[in-house]
Protein backbone atom coordinates (compact mmCIF):
# COMPACT_ATOMS: atom_id res chain seq x y z
CA UNK A 1 0.00 0.00 0.00
CA UNK A 2 1.17 3.50 -0.80
CA UNK A 3 -0.59 5.97 1.50
CA UNK A 4 1.36 8.88 -0.02
CA UNK A 5 0.28 11.51 -2.52
CA UNK A 6 2.97 10.51 -5.06
CA UNK A 7 3.67 7.18 -6.83
CA UNK A 8 6.33 4.97 -5.20
CA UNK A 9 9.06 3.34 -7.31
CA UNK A 10 11.44 0.80 -5.80
CA UNK A 11 15.12 1.73 -6.12
CA UNK A 12 16.75 -0.89 -3.91
CA UNK A 13 16.41 -3.42 -1.12
CA UNK A 14 18.65 -4.98 1.51
CA UNK A 15 18.52 -7.47 4.37
CA UNK A 16 20.39 -6.48 7.53
CA UNK A 17 20.97 -8.99 10.34
CA UNK A 18 21.31 -8.33 14.07
CA UNK A 19 25.13 -8.09 13.74
CA UNK A 20 24.82 -5.38 11.09
CA UNK A 21 25.77 -7.64 8.16
CA UNK A 22 24.04 -6.41 5.02
CA UNK A 23 23.08 -8.20 1.82
CA UNK A 24 21.82 -6.14 -1.10
CA UNK A 25 18.92 -7.79 -2.90
CA UNK A 26 17.90 -8.01 -6.53
CA UNK A 27 14.64 -6.14 -7.13
CA UNK A 28 11.81 -6.13 -9.63
CA UNK A 29 8.73 -3.93 -9.88
CA UNK A 30 6.38 -4.06 -12.85
CA UNK A 31 5.07 -0.52 -12.33
CA UNK A 32 5.22 2.24 -9.72
CA UNK A 33 2.73 1.87 -6.87
CA UNK A 34 0.18 4.64 -7.46
CA UNK A 35 -0.64 7.29 -4.87
CA UNK A 36 -3.21 5.92 -2.41
CA UNK A 37 -2.98 2.59 -4.21
CA UNK A 38 -1.51 -0.87 -3.96
CA UNK A 39 1.15 -2.72 -5.88
CA UNK A 40 3.79 -5.41 -5.60
CA UNK A 41 7.56 -5.66 -5.53
CA UNK A 42 9.75 -8.76 -5.74
CA UNK A 43 13.13 -9.09 -4.01
CA UNK A 44 15.63 -11.94 -3.95
CA UNK A 45 19.25 -12.83 -3.37
CA UNK A 46 21.39 -13.12 -6.49
CA UNK A 47 24.05 -15.83 -6.53
CA UNK A 48 24.78 -17.95 -3.49
CA UNK A 49 22.65 -17.62 -0.39
CA UNK A 50 24.02 -15.32 2.27
CA UNK A 51 24.60 -16.54 5.80
CA UNK A 52 22.76 -14.00 7.91
CA UNK A 53 21.92 -14.25 11.58
CA UNK A 54 18.18 -13.70 11.40
CA UNK A 55 15.76 -12.36 12.42
CA UNK A 56 16.69 -9.63 9.94
CA UNK A 57 15.41 -6.24 8.90
CA UNK A 58 14.23 -5.84 5.31
CA UNK A 59 14.65 -2.32 3.95
CA UNK A 60 13.14 -1.10 0.68
CA UNK A 61 13.75 2.43 -0.59
CA UNK A 62 12.30 4.52 -3.35
CA UNK A 63 14.01 5.98 -6.38
CA UNK A 64 13.22 9.66 -6.06
CA UNK A 65 12.69 10.46 -2.41
CA UNK A 66 13.12 9.70 1.23
CA UNK A 67 10.26 7.22 1.73
CA UNK A 68 11.58 3.87 2.99
CA UNK A 69 9.73 0.68 3.92
CA UNK A 70 11.25 -1.20 6.88
CA UNK A 71 10.07 -4.64 7.97
CA UNK A 72 11.49 -5.92 11.27
CA UNK A 73 11.90 -9.52 12.47
CA UNK A 74 12.07 -11.15 9.04
CA UNK A 75 12.88 -14.85 9.36
CA UNK A 76 13.24 -17.74 6.94
CA UNK A 77 12.20 -21.37 7.41
CA UNK A 78 14.91 -23.78 8.53
CA UNK A 79 15.59 -26.58 6.14
CA UNK A 80 18.14 -28.40 4.05
CA UNK A 81 18.33 -28.15 0.30
CA UNK A 82 17.74 -31.44 -1.48
CA UNK A 83 20.33 -32.43 -4.06
CA UNK A 84 19.56 -34.10 -7.40
Per-residue pLDDT of 4-43, as tens digits, reads 999 999 999 999 988 888 989 999 999 999 999 999 999 9
pTM, entire model: 0.80
Averaged pLDDT, 41-63:
83
Which residues have C-beta within 8 Å of that of residue 7, sequence separation ≥ 6?
Answer: 32, 33, 34, 35
Considering the chain, what percentage of its residues have pLDDT values greater than 70? 86
DSSP 45-61: --SSPP---SSEEEEEE
The answer to whether 20 and 49 have CB atoms below 8 angstroms apart is no
Amino acid sequence: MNPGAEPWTLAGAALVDKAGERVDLATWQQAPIPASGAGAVVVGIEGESAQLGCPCTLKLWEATGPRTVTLESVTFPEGKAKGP
